[in-house]
A and B are shown apart, each in its own frame.
Chain A
């Protein structure tokens, strides 16, 4: 659990905490050495939204996401998407947040690329390749 500052021995073990640290963070290896498998940006964005909603909902004592098929793969093949969302998170709100996050990630990626690698243009090529693979699947 995330602990309040008053406890002496914080232990960062909630899924939300871990996902926040692990998703789209860490060293990226560019070039042909890496096998690109996941469209990790897209998936991490969805997971991030999921976590953000879950945290908000938990604070309000709700558990709507356990019934929402967008968030529970077990229920079925994920047909209905967002139209089942209950609670306070309207689909339009999620979409707006989604767009915001996309823009934010874009900005961050650009900022990182500018700061760390002023000479390279590989970044954009890389994501282009990924998009290509996405289409191929």
Chain B
């Protein structure tokens, strides 16, 4: 469906301002630089794009592949816009046919867009990770040691039981630390959500917060306090941000479009 030289309009973000400086921002190969399409007081940050440029193949899912570059450019543009005015980040690779379609979107969905902009205005997203440093208990090594010592079956089972209980208790304590930090920081945020830990070992918490800019200092102070408290236990607190509110703009707008015609 992306055959030939079909072109579209890539949508980065929607803003409640028609005065946004987009100079120097990256566009797409074979496409144009980011610009504004406005309708009343709302505007979409868009760039012309050859649809073929968005046809990412499975084997291009790499660290420096096309999809990764697109994601970085997507973030660069949205962040530059977000630094100037509240912005609704659109999902990666949102494309409309042309300027008329973009204006139709702004016109038909202006109420939803304004509500969302109002909810996110004056907020930034901050990410918090808790990571355990150093060695995780190695159950296999434990088992090997027990086997090497050639204990009686009963001794082995007892040692095994103790090892299991110890590791369960440790897991429990660690999970509690994650939960406590998650809740403690949430008190200084308008919204909070946990992100996937991706199965990474030692990642105790991967959370993200929608923080009012007026509460940023308090939020960071609390995070620093947790960092100091947990350091002795070999747990590191990582903070990323400020981000545009990506994780808190996960909504669908225009859901009635089909019904409305």
Q: A25-B249, A38-B56, A137-B1 are in contact. Are A47 and B90 (CB under 8 A)?
A: no
Q: Does B218 contact A (CB under 8 A)?
A: no
Q: Once the chains bind, are A52 and B65 in contact (CB under 8 Å)?
A: no
Q: Is the interface of B mostly helix, strand, loop or mixed?
A: mixed
Q: Once the chains bind, are B240 and A47 in contact (CB under 8 Å)?
A: no
Interface residues in A98-121 by Cβ distance below 8 A to B read: 100-101, 104, 112-113, 116-117, 120
Q: Once the chains bind, are B196 and A22 in contact (CB under 8 Å)?
A: no
Q: Does B155 contact A (CB under 8 A)?
A: no
**Cα-based distance from A3 to B91 in the complex (angstroms):** 26
Q: A4-B236, A5-B237, A50-B62 are in contact. Are A15 and B249 (CB under 8 A)?
A: no
- Tell which of B90, B97, B105, B250 touches A112, judged by Cβ atoms closer than 8 Å: B250
Q: Does B104 contact A (CB under 8 A)?
A: yes
Q: A26-B246, A31-B257 are in contact. Are A6 and B75 (CB under 8 A)?
A: no
Q: Once the chains bind, are A35 and B58 in contact (CB under 8 Å)?
A: no
Specify which chain B residues have a CB less than 8 angstroms from the CB of A52 in the assembled complex: 196, 198-200
**Cα-based distance from A94 to B96 in the complex (angstroms):** 35
Q: Once the chains bind, are A21 and B14 in contact (CB under 8 Å)?
A: no
Q: Does A82 contact B (CB under 8 A)?
A: no
A94's nearest neighbour on chain B, judged by CB, is: B199
**Cα-based distance from A100 to B165 in the complex (angstroms):** 26
Interface size on A, residues (CB 8 A): 66
Q: How far is the CB of B22 from chain A (nearest CB, A)?
A: 18
Q: Once the chains bind, are B75 and A21 in contact (CB under 8 Å)?
A: yes
Q: Does B92 contact A (CB under 8 A)?
A: yes
Q: Once the chains bind, are A34 and B96 in contact (CB under 8 Å)?
A: yes
- Tell which of B75, B104, B227 touches A18, judged by Cβ atoms closer than 8 Å: B75
Q: Does A55 contact B (CB under 8 A)?
A: yes
Specify which chain A residues have a CB less than 8 angstroms from the CB of B200 in the assembled complex: 52, 55-56, 59
Specify which chain B residues have a CB less than 8 angstroms from the CB of A71 in the assembled complex: 61-63
Interface residues in B1-39 by Cβ distance below 8 A to A read: 1-2, 8, 11, 14
**Cα-based distance from A15 to B64 in the complex (angstroms):** 9
Interface residues in B54-102 by Cβ distance below 8 A to A read: 54-63, 65, 67-68, 71-72, 74-75, 88-97, 101
Q: Does B224 contact A (CB under 8 A)?
A: yes
Q: Does B43 contact A (CB under 8 A)?
A: no
**Cα-based distance from A28 to B252 in the complex (angstroms):** 5
Specify which chain A residues have a CB less than 8 angstroms from the CB of B125 in the assembled complex: 21
**Cα-based distance from A1 to B65 in the complex (angstroms):** 20
**Contact surface of B with A, Cβ cutoff 8 Å:** 1-2, 8, 11, 14, 51, 54-63, 65, 67-68, 71-72, 74-75, 88-97, 101, 104-105, 109, 116, 125, 127, 129, 195-196, 198-202, 208, 223-224, 227, 236-241, 243, 246-247, 249-258
**Contact surface of A with B, Cβ cutoff 8 Å:** 2-6, 10, 12, 15, 17-35, 37-38, 40, 43-44, 46-52, 54-56, 59, 65, 70-74, 77-78, 97, 100-101, 104, 112-113, 116-117, 120, 122-123, 125, 133, 136-137
Beyond the given pairs A40-B92, A122-B258, 14 more chain A to chain B contacts, judged by CB atoms under 8 angstroms and listed by A's residue number, are A5-B227, A18-B72, A20-B195, A21-B75, A25-B250, A27-B252, A29-B90, A31-B256, A33-B104, A34-B95, A35-B96, A51-B198, A55-B198, A78-B58
Nearest 6 A-B pairs (CB), nearest first? Answer: A31-B257, A52-B198, A78-B59, A12-B240, A5-B227, A120-B255
